[in-house]
Amino acid sequence: MQRSLISDIIANDIEGEVNIAVWIQDTRSLKNVIFLTVRDTSGMAQVTIRKGTLDNEEKIVGLNRESVIAVKGKWDRKSASKLGVDIVAEKIEILNESLAPLPLGVDDPVEADFDTRLNNRFIDIRKPEKALIFQIESTMLWGIRKFFNSQEFIEVHTPKIVAAATEGGADLFSVKYFEKEAYLNQSPQLYKEILMSCGLDRVFEVGPAFRAEQHNTTRHLNEFTSIDIEVSFADHNDAMAFLENAIKHGVDEMLSRHSDQMEKHGIHVDRVKTPFPRITYEECRKLINDAGMNLEFGDDFSPEQLKVIGNKFNGFYFIIDWPSSMRPFYTMPKPEDPALTNSFDLQFNELEITSGAQRVHNPEILEKRFLDKGLNPSEFDFYIKAFKYGMPPHAGWAIGLERLVMILCGLPNIREATLFPRDRTRIVP
């Protein structure tokens, strides 16, 4: 179908005949003229129909909002239309009619409640400010992918139906796999580490991760998108450097493509300055205890305690050197103090965006870590085997994509950064 985007007509100052394909947002029929306010994925325009010039103009005036039409016409550059683009129609083809009333308005002055919006996501995302979130997400991921590519990473795809838990035994969705029981993968952790034994050196994956977490919060989903890396002959410091740079490149790409639209919709994102500050778990504990709250070594931070730490930093920072008892079996204990680990979380203000670490690469230590965590190593034979025949030292991390978009766009709820959220009560649409 031959068509121009509205934004291209403006940007390229296209002269003469133009073809656009659009949704009708509003119709006003005056004495001599009909004005249509129309929208495509790139912006809005006014279509002017001079009465008596089109065979089907009555039918067009009667179309419900959100019907889809193709317009052939001339761009009137002198038009005073406040939308900036006014196309004088020469031919209009009706591509599809919408029913009325709409289950959700596209330009209602008062926003509908969140459930109504999510139930009617196909219309909700027609709103330019909602579509922008997913355009930003795509562009940011493209910037991150370009960075990985420049660093000789390969993109991999590991199984999502698995036989063992990775991030602890709880929070697993089970699936019937013929005559066996299987699970939906919580993270590519075990497979990305096995790939280090394959000699693939630097891998990344962008894929779904499933967590059967019971709590319904503004930060948790039961299915989210995990951006994972794993790197051979690397430690936690190397992994943190890859993380800072990946985020920097993602944000740069996003700003280079969307800054106008972001400004228009009140999304302000600063360029990322690296390296990010680092604070140890023990230093955080001191801050919290100094603020009059009590945190024992090995306890996780409460949301209020994270606020105390977040108030000290503006934007991204790492919390490093987490206690061994708090990190999964695959995390490398600090050689000089095994009560701590070579691990990190990347935070943005008070929210965790990424977990990562240097991994245990010695199979005996790994088996011991399984036992310490109350796990049965024999259930992980396929994983431990890959450590017994030449596993290089390695490190990696995972970013929750929706959390990253949520904090960058300043969204109040992670579901706003998820096309079709899966949470404790929602699996439709």
Strand order in the sheet with 394-400: 154-155, 202-210, 223-232, 394-400, 351-358, 343-348, 316-320, 278-280
The yes-or-no answer on residue 211 being catalytic is: yes
Across-strand partners of 181?
Answer: 176
> In sequence order, what are the residues at sequence separation of 6 or more whose Cβ sits closer than 8 angstroms to the Cβ of residue 408?
136, 140, 251, 254, 267, 269
The token pair at 321 is 């050197």
Least gap, CB of 373 to ligand AMO (angstroms): 14
Least gap, CB of 57 to ligand AMO (angstroms): 50
Q: Which stretch binds ligand AMO (CB under 6 A): 13-21, 67-75, 139-147, 348-356?
A: 348-356
Q: Which stretch binds ligand AMO (CB under 6 A): 20-28, 30-38, 251-259, 349-357?
A: 349-357
Select 36 or 221, whichever has its Cβ closest to ligand AMO: 221
> By rule CB under 6 A, what string of x and - marks binding of each residue 224-263 to ligand AMO?
x-x-x-----------------------------------
Residue type, 29: S
Q: Is 355 in the site for ligand AMO (CB under 6 A)?
A: yes
User: Tokens 């889809």 correspond to what residue?
Assistant: 68
Q: Which of residues 114-153 bind ligand AMO (CB under 6 A)?
A: none
| Contact criterion met (CB below 8 Å) for 4 and 17 | no
> By rule CB under 6 A, what string of x and - marks binding of each residue 362-401 to ligand AMO?
----------------------------------xxx-x-
Select 123 or 409, whichever has its Cβ closest to ligand AMO: 409
The token pair at 362 is 């010695």
Half-sphere exposure at residue 32, Cβ-oriented, CA atoms within 13 angstroms: 0
**10, 19, 131: which is closest to 81 by C-alpha?**
10
Helix (H, G, I), strand (E, B) or coil at 336: coil
Among 185, 187, 261, 347, binds ligand AMO (CB under 6 A): 187
Task: Indicate the Cα dihedral angle 220, 221, 223, 225, nearest 10°.
Answer: -60
Instruction: Give me the catalytic one of 211, 249, 361, 415.
Output: 211
The yes-or-no answer on residue 355 being catalytic is: yes
Among 221, 240, 320, 384, binds ligand AMO (CB under 6 A): 221
The yes-or-no answer on residue 282 being catalytic is: no
Number of residues that bind ligand AMO (CB under 6 A): 22
Nearest residue to ligand AMO on Cβ basis: 400
Instruction: Give me the catalytic one of 126, 220, 327, 361.
Output: 220
Select 128 or 421, whichever has its Cβ closest to ligand AMO: 421
Residue 363 DSSP label: H
| Contact criterion met (CB below 8 Å) for 337 and 307 | no
**13, 35, 33: which is closest to 24 by C-alpha?**
35
Report the first-to-last Cα separation within the chain, whole angstroms. Answer: 29
Among 9, 234, 353, 406, binds ligand AMO (CB under 6 A): 353
Instruction: Give me the catalytic one of 193, 355, 359, 394.
Output: 355
List of E strands, 359-402: 394-400
| Residues carrying an active site annotation | 211, 213, 219-220, 352, 355, 403
The site for ligand AMO (CB under 6 A) is made up of 167, 187, 189, 211, 213, 220-221, 224, 226, 228, 352-357, 396-398, 400, 402-403
